[in-house]
Structure 1
Amino acid sequence: MTTRDGATGSRKPAGPARERVYDWLRDEIIKGSLEGGQFLDEQWVSRTVGVSRTPVREAFHRLAAEHFIQLMPRKGAQVRSVTARELEEVYQARRLIEGHAARSLCEARHGAPGGMTALLEPMERAGRERDWFEVAALNRQFHEVMVSTAGNSVITDLYEGLHSRQQRVGLRAMRARPERVGTVDAEHRALVAALDAFDAERALAVLDEHLRPVPEVVSVLPRGTDG
């Protein structure tokens, strides 16, 4: 089994054991410290995080349901790689949900939620510092504010179900094309401006461009046969 103790380290964050294990594994997979194809052993994870094996099994099942890992009989679990198909499908789902939210906000003449505007500077600063994990986390929050403010609780719940995969896919895309950070920042500001102008068509056009799979990113990912 391949492990990377030096990349992850032992830690005991606060909270229920199953949540500690889940949060730690999810974040390390998103960061890339635990790479696609890597095998995870229950005993190693329990020792690294400082918990028993029962919460590790619970975290494994949750992460498998979210397509972060694949459970392997008698082998533990294997980290899934981000595939081109997954990136395309996550972006497609986001276009549907975020497009509905943007149109709803414009029709209600709500304007851009304050939370979106407040996140612009921190996102841009994290991008200048090449802190891709922070960029991806703030980007997820930025878009979640728009969706939640639109006021449809069912759609918000569906969108929140995407957030970990969204963050992982976004980070992978940014690492593949770091030179796009300026373009992404400009698109975020254009989206805020369109919402403030109650211009639904412009907001949808910005989202279509913003959530368009970039060929140079797609080409470096394995094609994949499932989401």
Structure 2
Amino acid sequence: MTTPDGATRSPKAAGPARERVYEWLRDEIIRGTLEGGQFLDEQWVSRTVGVSRTPVREAFHRLAAEHFIQLMPRKGAQVRSVTARELEEVYQARRLIEGQAARSLCEARHGAPEGMTALLEPMERAGAAGDWFEVAGLNRRFHQIMVSTAGNSVITDLYDGLHSRQQRVGLRAMKARPERVDIVDAEHRALVAALDACDAERALAVLAEHLRPVPEVVSVLPRDGQG
């Protein structure tokens, strides 16, 4: 299947139609294959994925609720751009949730969850290869393990609600400043070390730096609007 800009990733062939449409559109938006400002026509999507228009409409409504697209009356949908404000707000939410999780793990003297340590090298390999989609997915999993291990199911549910937006914002940031990959890798290792040492203040300091909107990234994003 071919997207409007020439990409050739095919949708999944198995699973409920609405999930196949949703996952394909979500991943292509996260990758940037479907860019901010691009219009999505129901007929084109249904033909590309090989489904009727009903699951396409269902996927559109779900993606709109997750702030990936804006529904346009009689025009289908338009992909939303990642804005500077969205990046700043996602990072702010993450600092609050992840900071609480890190503090809880240190107070319980839990140490860094094994899953976090196991993801360090795969993230670094993906970054060295410039596979930003893989990096963003692994990065999200790395931080999600910390939050879920802290054991507050309500906070975990709130954090999981950021899943796709977190991955898209993270990928956009890495594409904007790929030279920061070594800094990000070092911060991940510093966070694991702080958790292993049960040093809450150090862990919070690492997170504050790690989840700080970088001016050079913010400056290349639109401030408002859907772009």
Classify the TM-score, shorter chain.
Answer: over 0.9
Q: For each residue in 1:68-97, what CA deviation from the matched residue of structure 2 results, as whole angstroms up to 9, or x when unmatched?
A: 000000110000000000000000000000
1:22 aligns with 2:26: no
CA RMSD of aligned residues (A): 1.1
Paired residues, number: 224
Aligned equivalents of 2:9, 2:151: Cα separation in 1: 41
Aligned to 1:195: 195
Residue 72 (structure 2) pairs with residue 58 (structure 1): no
Q: Distance in 1 between matches of 2:60 and 2:28?
A: 14
Q: What one-letter code is carried by the residue in structure 2 that aligns with 1:218? A: V
Give ranges in structure 1 of 5+ residues lacking alignment: none
**1:35 maps to what in 2?**
35
Call closer, same or farther: CA 1:91–1:126 in 2, change over 3 Å. Answer: same
List runs of 5+ in structure 2 lacking aligned partners: none
1:149 and 1:85, CA in 2 relative to 1: closer, same or farther beyond 3 A?
A: same
**One-letter identity of the residue aligned with 1:134:** E
Seen in structure 2, the aligned counterparts of structure 1 residues 105 and 81 have a Cα distance that, compared at 3 Å, is same
Give runs of aligned pairs for residues 10-159 of structure 1, distance below 5 A. Answer: 10-159=10-159
Q: Structure 2 vs 1, CA of residues 5 and 45 (structure 1 numbering), >3 Å: closer, same or farther?
A: farther
In percent, how many aligned pairs have the same letter? 89
Shift of 1:207: 0.1
User: Could you say what secondary structure the match of 1:78 adopts?
Assistant: strand
**Equivalent residue of 2:124, what SS?**
helix
Cα separation, 2, equivalents of 1:114 and 1:91: 24
Q: Say whether the 8 Å CA contact 2:5–2:33 is kept in structure 1.
A: no
CA contact (8 A) 1:194 1:203 kept: yes
Superposed CA offset, 1:46-81 (max 9, x none): 110111111100000000000000000011000000
Q: Which residue of 1 aligns with 2:173?
A: 173
Using the size of structure 2 for normalisation, the TM-score is: 0.96
Per the alignment, residue 204 of structure 2 pairs with 204
Deviation of 1:225 after TM superposition, in Å, equals 5.3
